[in-house]
Structure 1
Amino acid sequence: MSAPSTVQSVTVPAPTSAPAPSDSKSWARAFADIRAGVANRELWSHLGWQDIKQRYRRSVLGPLWITLSMGVTALGLGILYSQLLGSPIDTYLPYITTGFIVWAFLLGCLTEGTETFIANEGLIKHLPAPLSVYVLRTVWRQCIMFAHNMIIYFIVLMILWGGITKSGYVITDGGVPQPGLNWSALLAIPAFALIAVNAGWVVLLFGIISTRFRDIPQVITSLINLLFFMTPIVWSTDILQKRFGDGVTWRSLVAELNPLYHFIQIIRAPLIGAQQSWHHWAIVGGFAVVGWVLALFVMRNYRSRVSYWV
């Protein structure tokens, strides 16, 4: 994505706090880059807003197209799959809507994350800014789009309030009774913060790898459809339990073995008043720790090469 002309109006402080050891492959330089990037909040937040404006400039609705497209998709597939799966529309539509909203955020971070440094080639070669600025730019842009999409959730919630607020409602006929929407919905806030932390290492790690191996974005794009249908978004885990029972088999564990399911569930469950399991939080938190260790290791060894690879 090309840099907007308004970038010149933003004051970019040089990362003077970065140490200058002779060895470019140092942990000090990697951590200094992260600190300097976070400190340049004015730069990456401005660039993120400009990305949204550039994408929808000269359109009548502007960024509202983000909300409209998500609403049409959720409504259309919600009505279709509720009939195919025999699910009550008043409980299934909130389920699929929240699933699509979280999936859009995860997918955006994954696909656009692979292009983070490639798309910012011009800025990287001419702007004295930390590499983490471009990572934060991508994550912030996805957060803005997530906030736009959440408008659809609140609209669906107002229309179908009675469906997911009653105790014992089910997502699919014969499914597991759910406790209903309550104050635990506020857990979606720290859940999103945890996912955003994971988004940081995803963008950083895949962004650096993709600058060296340009096939990575194409590989991920080709796997998107498979990832979507393998993740419980338009279908519920109740279906697996009804079909294969509670026994531990590979069929019944299809969802549990899919990391994306846990990322979606820690936000979706509180938002629709569904049963919450802390093992989802533990898995997502584990991915955050392991992912950042890998990302920082790659950052330490290949940070200085990104400007040459792009």
Structure 2
Amino acid sequence: MLKNKSFYISFRDVFLSLREVWLPCLLAWHDISVRYKRSKVGQFWLTLNTLVYISSLGLIFGTLFRLNLHEYLPNICAAILTWNFINTSISDGCLSFISSDSIILQVNLPFFMHIIRTVARNLIIFGHNIIIFPIIAIAVGYSMNYYALLIIPGLVFIVINLLWVCVILSVLCTRFRDLHQVVTSILQIIFYATPVVWDAKILPSTVSPLVVKLNPFYNFIDLVKQPLMGHPPHTNEWLFCGVLAVVGWCVALCVLGKYKQRIAYWL
């Protein structure tokens, strides 16, 4: 009975948020606009900074390890753009309720709206940054094909998974404030353990391929990277992300429904 009540509370909260999804999306756009207010370049400072970072990292690692820049630069560009989106969404998601405490304590809005606002803000930033890929691809003479359109369903799968991750972490981090620093540290470790700046093909034979294939971040990145590199993602990656979304959302709905009434007191 308690589980059914928790599911009802959380499901209603999510439904009401999605019904008025324009509001958190508008707030997300406002967050970015305020950050770069009075700047001539505006939000595209994000793109310029990321372009410099990816180009520098790609040239340095590509030169040091004598890699083929024709393939390596587009590869690392797609991987880092996707990783940055995932990383910042999770990191910001930990603070979704804490950063919106004034709204939560004064306005009766569904809690899931604050999660949507966080992920939407980072999705907008990803939209700005994605133009870096064709720039680098043209610079190194790398051609794209129609498989690039598959990044759209790939992003949908990633967003669906990021939303449930942010729901769980935002509730836990509101209760345990130090958890945000723990999550940030874990994400730094995952960055090096995930094929972002290195290729999974270079793993030694003594390491099982399952170490990479069972890494959710590897599968998420591949849903965007492979289409941009001209290849369709493997069916197993779609299935993995789909199953993970179903299981994750069941847990997220339980957590949100059980602790929703306490969040305002924790703030």
- Whether TM exceeds 0.5 here: the answer is yes
**Do structure 1's residue 112 and structure 2's residue 69 form an aligned pair?**
no
Which residue of 2 is the match for residue 90 of structure 1?
70
Aligned counterpart for 1:280 among listed residues 214, 230, 237: 237
Aligned counterpart for 1:40 among listed residues 5, 15, 20: 20
For 1:287 and 1:100, the matched residues in 2 are separated by: 22
- 1:211 to partner: Cα distance: 0.7
Determine which structure has greater relative contact order: mean sequence separation of CA pairs < 8 Å that are 6+ residues apart, divided by chain length.
2
**Do structure 1's residue 189 and structure 2's residue 152 form an aligned pair?**
yes
- Unaligned regions of 5+ residues in structure 1, if any? 1-22, 166-180
Question: What percentage of aligned pairs have identical amino acids?
Answer: 36
Q: Deviations over 1:169-216 (max 9, x none)?
A: xxxxxxxxxxxx432222111011110111111111110111111121
* C-alpha contact 1:34 1:130 (8 A) present in aligned 2: yes
- 1:53 to partner: Cα distance: 1.1
| SS of the residue 2:212 aligns to | coil
For 1:115 and 1:182, the matched residues in 2 are separated by: 38
Aligned counterpart for 1:265 among listed residues 219, 222, 232: 222
**Do structure 1's residue 300 and structure 2's residue 263 form an aligned pair?**
no
Which residue of 1 is the match for residue 196 of structure 2?
233
| SS of the residue 1:295 aligns to | helix
- 1:287 to partner: Cα distance: 1.3
Which residue of 1 is the match for residue 167 of structure 2?
204
Q: Deviations over 1:272-307 (max 9, x none)?
A: 124631111111111111110110010111111111
For 1:133 and 1:48, the matched residues in 2 are separated by: 10
| SS of the residue 1:255 aligns to | helix
TM-score, scaled to structure 2: 0.94
- Name the aligned partner's letter for residue 192 of structure 1: L
- Name the aligned partner's letter for residue 214 of structure 1: R
- 1:25 to partner: Cα distance: 4.6
Aligned counterpart for 1:68 among listed residues 34, 48, 69: 48
| SS of the residue 1:254 aligns to | helix
| SS of the residue 1:43 aligns to | helix
| SS of the residue 2:183 aligns to | helix
Which residue of 1 is the match for residue 81 of structure 2?
101
* C-alpha contact 2:6 2:254 (8 A) present in aligned 1: no
Q: Deviations over 1:206-238 (max 9, x none)?
A: 101111111210101122321111110110012
- 1:60 to partner: Cα distance: 2.9
Q: Deviations over 1:3-47 (max 9, x none)?
A: xxxxxxxxxxxxxxxxxxxx9953222211111111222321121
For 1:291 and 1:253, the matched residues in 2 are separated by: 21
For 1:49 and 1:192, the matched residues in 2 are separated by: 19
* C-alpha contact 1:24 1:304 (8 A) present in aligned 2: no
**Cα distance change of structure 1 residues 86 and 252 upon mapping to structure 2, 3 Å threshold:** farther
**Do structure 1's residue 250 and structure 2's residue 207 form an aligned pair?**
yes
Moved more, 28-37 or 108-117: 28-37
Which residue of 2 is the match for residue 142 of structure 1?
122
**Alignment map for 1:154-193 (pairs within 5 Å):** 154-161=134-141, 163=142, 165=143, 181-193=144-156
For 1:39 and 1:281, the matched residues in 2 are separated by: 27
Moved more, 287-296 or 220-229: 220-229
**Do structure 1's residue 124 and structure 2's residue 104 form an aligned pair?**
yes
For 2:37 and 2:4, the matched residues in 1 are separated by: 41
RMSD: 1.9
- 1:128 to partner: Cα distance: 1.3
* C-alpha contact 2:24 2:114 (8 A) present in aligned 1: yes
Moved more, 80-89 or 116-125: 80-89
For 1:40 and 1:108, the matched residues in 2 are separated by: 24
For 2:4 and 2:247, the matched residues in 1 are separated by: 23
- 1:74 to partner: Cα distance: 0.6
* C-alpha contact 2:36 2:42 (8 A) present in aligned 1: yes
- Name the aligned partner's letter for residue 203 of structure 1: C
